[in-house]
Amino acid sequence: MIIFGHRGAPGYPRRAENTAASFRKALQYGAAGIEFDVRRCGDGRLVVIHDETVDRTTNGRGRVANLSYSELEKLDAGCGERIPLLTDVLDKFGPQCLLNIELKDGGIAEDVKRLVVERKLERRIIVSAFQWDELRPLAPEIPIGLLSSRLKGLVVAARELGAVAIHPRWDSVTERLVKTAHDADLQIHIWTVNDPAKISSLQTMGVDGVFTDCPERMSMIVGPVIKQGL
């Protein structure tokens, strides 16, 4: 079972999420992959941040879409870390581990694809989104995963879009869902799980991966990490 550091290893409540320090920590704690969020900022560049605004995760205020990167990089995103560019994360962490990129804005898939292909990282990446149609420009060149908090139509849509995985919420997972996904040649990665007992239960069910804020709690459960392409 693959452990993805959810926004790195920010703990919970989360601190310095989606920063280089958080990603490094996740890998030090044994995660085989990192998950992070991407938006477009005011000057058109793609930045790694979860929320529409910088208010919660930095010492600044304002909408990401209204701020240039020169403004964003001056902010403290926790522990003195800055908001990274997507290119920085691809260059630094792409050769080291699996990267799960979650699209938070519409209309950015083509740019994400271009940056990934330029670096020949296609088999080190999975791109996910709750808005499934946003993923259409990516497959089949880049693996995609469908995020959802509900199960209705999830497997069918994943097959139609050429996805490699589904990413359901932890409290919706059943053994039947795992079997249905595997029968459809889909991996199943679960978000967001911070309880080691739940991780162990999901591993018993046969899930392929989990997203966690606390990868340091998981290494004893899942054993050696798996650093392979998706």
| Measured distance CA(230)–CA(115) in Å, rounded | 18
The active-site residue out of 50, 167, 182, 189 is: 50
Q: Report DSSP letters for the chain, one per residue.
A: -EEEEETSS-TTTT-STTSHHHHHHHHHTT-SEEEEEEEE-TTS-EEE-SSSBSTTTSS--SBGGGS-HHHHTTS--STT--PPBHHHHHHHHTTTSEEEEEE-STT-HHHHHHHHHHTT-GGGEEEEESSGGGGTTTTTTS-EEEEES--TTHHHHHHHHT-SEEEEBGGG--HHHHHHHHHTT-EEEEB----HHHHHHHHHHT-SEEEES-GGGTHHHH-S------
Task: Please say if 50 is a catalytic residue.
Answer: yes
Answer yes or no: 6 catalytic: yes
Rg (alpha carbons) of the chain, rounded to whole number: 17
Given 6, 167, 182, 189, which residue is catalytic? Answer: 6
| Three-point CA angle 149, 24, 144, nearest 5° | 35
Query: Annotated catalytic sites, by residue?
Result: 6, 50
